[in-house]
Structure 1
Amino acid sequence: MGRTEYYYDPEAPKANTLIPASNLLVVNDAGEILLQRRRDTGQWALPGGAQDIGETAAECAVRECQEETGILAEITGFLGVYTNPHHIVAYSDGEIRQQYENTYIGRPVRGEPTVNDGADGVQWVASDCLDQLDIHQSMRQQIGDYLSGTYPFLG
């Protein structure tokens, strides 16, 4: 399914859904951040996705991380809730979502970065290398909040 992201774009379509999603910002012992390159946008992002019925937001973050990166991680903290009515994601099936993400902080437990159907790249990235990657502004905000120690909780 294709997707188009709109960020503070006056031409963005009007949202028709608001789906809870969770991200997991995983940091290894070297201080590197786990990122995946999404096949649908080509941009680097934190692992994350839509919450399933029957799971908590934290369980969603852990599941999505393992599915999307091959890394099983445990949650060590909470970064914040990121909900921006000016960040719209339009899918080819007609769904148009307004951003709503709970972002957790975690550490790896086991596994190796592994590509999959949703990501054609998965790697640990040092903070001084982030500017070399195409990272969506919403992900940059979350990573920046973590690196600066600014945990907004309600973003």
Structure 2
Amino acid sequence: MENRPRVGVVVFVLRGKSVLLGQRRSSIGDSTYALPGGHLEFGESFEECAARELKEETGLDIEKIEFLTVTNSVFLENPKPSHYVVIFLRAALADPLQEPQNLEPDKCHGWDWYDWNNLPQPLFWPLEKMVQSGFNPFPID
């Protein structure tokens, strides 16, 4: 493995006061709940990456994509130490009635909507860290 940071893009897909989360099947954070997303590809904007990854993972289409924050996460635990710069975006469903599908069952146990004030456990640690800091992905009314 190369010893250089990779760029990840994840998206808070919001519906009412709920957020879309999937349970990971991965060497990093296995069985934890995480946001949809993936690796930024060469020449891609953050918004294009978020829309592509969400479509590949869930079949959902999004709109009103906005930048929220960025984190610098170093995973030192085995089996694969890694360093990620993660771009966090927020988006709305293009069709509010559309439901997520699990299009990558080898990477995710399934997707569902979770109330922000009653999130499932355990959360993927970068997301857990954000929640504990008081971060709120919802627009201020």
User: Is the 8 Å Cα contact of residues 45 and 136 (structure 1) preserved in structure 2?
Assistant: yes
Equivalent of residue 108 in structure 1, options 93, 106, 128: 93
Show the counterpart of 2:59.
70
Alignment equivalent of 1:123, drawn from 112, 119, 132:
112
Contact 1:89/1:99 (8 A) holds in 2: no
Output the CA distance in 2 between the equivalents of 1:38 and 1:120.
Answer: 6
| Structure 1: gaps of 5 or more residues | 1-14, 150-155
Shift of 1:141: 3.2
What does residue 37 of structure 1 align with? 23
Q: Return the match for 1:146 from 111, 136, 139.
A: 136
Superposition TM-score, scaled by structure 1 size: 0.72
Structure with the higher fraction of residues in helix conformation = 1
Distance 1:45 1:136, change over 3 A: same
RMSD (Å) for aligned C-alpha atoms: 2.5
Q: How does 1:78-89 map to 2 (within 5 A)?
A: 78-84=67-73, 86-88=74-76
Partner AA of 2:67 in structure 1: F
Runs of 4+ aligned residues of structure 1 deviating over 6 Å after TM superposition are none
For this pair of structures, how many residues does the alignment match? Answer: 130
1:136 pairs with 2:136: no
> Which runs of no fewer than 5 residues in structure 2 stay unpaired?
none
Give the C-alpha shift of residue 140 in structure 1: 2.2
TM-score computed with the length of structure 2 as normaliser:
0.78
1:57 maps to a residue whose letter is F
